[in-house]
């Protein structure tokens, strides 16, 4: 009976070793497949910089016309569809939060100024303040989108 239990243990060890080898081989195949078939993440930086520049130049209305999309597609090396999708995503992820942040900052500064000056409004100071805010967010926009 001792021989049989030793034989069973040997078979179990052999099966366990075979199982481990098969699992390892399967993991290696999965890793290789993931490396071979992994799609590119995001668009090329050069293409994004073309689109980002247009968006910032048209910050108040970042909706390119169809003809502008075709031109941007040629300049960026992307398809018109990729350009359209990039603008849809960029308006939601970049532009809208910036506009909301700018509006909140403008309201905050306006509230602080009204507290300091009472109810007296100074339009020249208000315009200068808006330009200052726009310049601040210009800097942030270019930093935020450098990795998109």
Please give the angle made by the CA atoms of 96, 100 and 106, to the nearest 5 degrees.
145
Kindly report which listed range (12-21, 82-91, 119-128) carries the lowest average pLDDT score: 119-128
Average pLDDT over every residue of 53-72: 97
The architecture of the domain spanning 44-147 is Orthogonal Bundle (1.10)
Kindly report which listed range (2-11, 39-48, 51-60) carries the lowest average pLDDT score: 2-11
Average pLDDT over every residue of 138-142: 63
**Portion of the chain with pLDDT greater than 90, in percent:** 43
Per-residue pLDDT of 64-97, as tens digits, reads: 999 999 999 999 999 999 999 999 999 999 999 9
* Better-scored residue on pLDDT, 87 or 42: 87
pLDDT at position 19, please? 82
Cβ within 8 Å of residue 90, ≥6 positions away: 51, 52, 55, 62, 145, 148
pLDDT at position 81, please? 97
Angle between the N-to-C axes of helices 45-57 and 123-144, in degrees from 0 to 180, rounded to the nearest 10? 170
């Amino acid at each position: 009976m001792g021989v049989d239990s030793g034989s069973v243990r040997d078979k179990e060890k052999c099966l366990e070793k075979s199982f481990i080898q098969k699992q390892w081989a399967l993991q290696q195949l999965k890793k290789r497949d993931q490396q071979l078939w992994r799609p590119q993440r995001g668009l090329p930086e050069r293409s994004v910089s073309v689109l980002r520049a247009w968006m910032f130049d048209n910050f108040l209305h970042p909706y390119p016309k169809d003809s502008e999309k075709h031109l941007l597609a040629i300049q960026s090396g992307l398809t018109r569809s990729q350009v359209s999708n990039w603008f849809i995503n960029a308006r939601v992820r970049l532009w809208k939060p910036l506009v909301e942040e700018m509006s909140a900052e403008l309201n905050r500064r306006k509230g602080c100024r009204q507290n300091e000056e009472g109810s007296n409004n100074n339009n020249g100071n208000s315009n200068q303040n808006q330009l200052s805010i726009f310049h601040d967010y210009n800097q942030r926009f270019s930093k935020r989108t450098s990795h998109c």
